[in-house]
């Protein structure tokens, strides 16, 4: 697909999405709409099993485009937030894992983009946070909701209300980051992680993500019921037979055979 502010490609089962609006990779309306379209495209590409999102240069995404927002009316602000929620919601809910390779500053909308992803790998040079209250605003792309679910309400309130940007080590300590690696090892680490996930049973990976997501928004009994049904769905495919046979024979499973 052709985009003005994104670069997308796919290779070896991995879909790569680069936010390419230097110098800050700020999110304006056009970038948000392109993210929405890109998620639709990745969702329908059968040979893409995992998606990685990163930023151009030394930035991940340094926030929303403040210059664009200064002229918003209340209605325009709501529309902008709705577009962001729609795009980031597609990242969170798509049936393929999405990894944020956070290569630089991830502030405001950049932090919200990262926490919409399933896994976050941060370069050790990263600063991440939600500084919106410095501008008389609140996070508008899901930050107040996803951050609290990820790190707990107390830490989320501290980060959002103080507007502090934290370093990668602190992000790892509070559970905001899954891994922190040297900046020059970020691509290698994320590629290795994406390939590992892509090597697993594709239906199982999709269902596992769906079960975890649903469990965050329901009670334990309903979550367990959904898991039971999803476990049964696994056996409606050939993947369990392929996976167990490969395990017993000490071979790598050929998941493509499940489609034959």
Active site residue 132: yes
Q: Which two tokens stand for residue 67?
A: 């210059």
The SS3 assignment for 255 reads helix
The answer to whether 179 and 121 have CB atoms below 8 angstroms apart is yes
Q: Report which DSSP code applies to 106.
A: E
Q: Which of 34, 56, 112, 239 is catalytic?
A: 112
Widest CA span of the chain, in angstroms?
A: 64
Q: Report which DSSP code applies to 134.
A: G
Beta bridge partners of 18: 7, 54
Active site residue 158: no
What is the residue whose two structure tokens read 């679910």? 149
Beta bridge partners of 19: 6, 55
DSSP string, 218-259: S-HHHHHHHHHHHHHHHTTSSHHHHHHHHHHHT----GGGGG
Write the CB contacts of 22 (distance below 8 Å, at least 6 apart in sequence): 56, 57, 59
**Inter-axis angle of helices 29-44 and 74-93, to 10 degrees?**
20
Q: Which of 11, 45, 56, 132 is catalytic?
A: 132
The answer to whether 215 and 226 have CB atoms below 8 angstroms apart is yes
Helix H or strand E segment including 122: strand 119-123
Closest by alpha carbon to 107, among 151, 163, 52, 152?
163
Integer Cα distance of 117 and 131 in angstroms = 20
Q: Which residues are catalytic?
A: 112, 132
């Amino acid at each position: 697909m052709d985009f003005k502010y994104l670069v997308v490609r796919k290779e070896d089962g991995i879909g790569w999405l680069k936010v390419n609006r230097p110098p800050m990779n700020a999110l304006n309306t056009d970038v948000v709409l392109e993210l929405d379209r890109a998620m639709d495209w990745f969702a329908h590409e059968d040979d893409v099993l995992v998606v990685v999102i990163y930023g151009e240069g030394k930035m991940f995404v340094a926030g929303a485009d403040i210059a664009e927002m200064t002229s918003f009316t209340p209605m325009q602000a709501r529309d902008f937030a709705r577009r962001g929620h729609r795009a980031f919601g597609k990242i969170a809910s798509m049936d393929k894992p999405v990894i944020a390779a956070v290569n630089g500053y991830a502030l405001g909308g950049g932090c919200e983009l990262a926490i919409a992803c399933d896994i976050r790998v941060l370069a050790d040079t990263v600063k991440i946070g939600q500084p919106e209250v410095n501008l008389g605003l609140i996070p508008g792309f899901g930050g107040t909701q996803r951050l609290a679910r990820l790190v707990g309400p107390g830490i989320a309130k501290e980060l959002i209300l103080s507007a502090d940007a934290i370093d990668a080590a602190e992000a790892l300590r509070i559970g905001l980051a899954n891994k922190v690696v040297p900046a020059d090892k970020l691509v290698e680490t994320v590629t290795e992680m994406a390939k590992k996930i892509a090597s697993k049973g594709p239906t199982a990976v999709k269902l596992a993500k769906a079960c975890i997501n649903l469990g965050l928004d329901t009670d334990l009994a309903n979550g367990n019921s959904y898991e039971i049904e999803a476990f049964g769905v696994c056996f409606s495919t050939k993947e369990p037979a392929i996976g167990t046979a490969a395990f017993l024979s000490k071979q790598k499973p050929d998941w493509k055979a499940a489609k034959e």
